[in-house]
Amino acid sequence: MFNRSIHDVEIIRWPEESARRERCRNSGRLRLLIVATGTTPPMCTDPREDWVRVPAPREDLSLRARALLARAGSHQIPQVNVDGVLTFRSQSVALSRGEAAVMEVLIRNFGLLVAREALCDELAGGDQLSSRNSLDLHIMRLRRRITPLGLVIRTAWGRGYIVESADPETGTN
């Protein structure tokens, strides 16, 4: 999965292509933002994203892309396929439709806090109480299912959840 070339890095003009950046972020693509002169660069906390200011020599772009590839390779990101199968490293587990929906939101923000409300919205059919109880049930089941893959869901009490590797320092269990 991580035997990639620098051609696997999306080059995105910032801020002109902010919508494209968001689409690439949602699909887990690697992104190198080319920041326009006089523009404030965005905060990049995702290991799949970096930025450089123009004018940037081609060599600098190539080095930044290679560094991005190396960083992304050391921070492997789980994936949920269209059939609801969660894969991380060389292991996988099948998820229910609701679990897959919750996991996709958590993975898009891998290592970052996701508000309970955002996860409830993903599950809600309009009934807020039902979606809150449903979310608690999905989180409980997901925790059991993802532990063998080396993933954990941490709780930020009263705020939301964070999915990450069981050992975020080394990326191993």
Helix ranges (DSSP H) in the chain: 18-27, 58-74, 97-108, 116-123, 128-146
pTM here is 0.57
What's the pLDDT tens digit per position in 65-78?
Answer: 988 887 766 557 78
Q: How many whole angstroms from its chain centre is CA 88?
A: 12
3-class state of residue 57 by DSSP: coil
Distance between CA 8 and CA 29 in Å, rounded? 8
Quick one: pLDDT at residue 173? 43
**pLDDT top residue among 76 and 62:** 62
CA-nearest of 81, 61, 72, 66 to 2 is 72
Domain ranges of the chain: 6-74, 79-165
What's the pLDDT tens digit per position in 84-139?
Answer: 999 887 789 999 998 999 999 999 888 889 999 999 888 875 455 556 788 999 99
Distance between CA 10 and CA 2 in Å, rounded? 15
Distance between CA 122 and CA 138 in Å, rounded? 12
Q: What letter represents residue 111's amino acid?
A: G
Quick one: pLDDT at residue 41? 92
Quick one: pLDDT at residue 129? 52
What's domain 79-165's architecture?
A: Orthogonal Bundle (1.10)
| Average pLDDT of the chain to the nearest whole number | 84
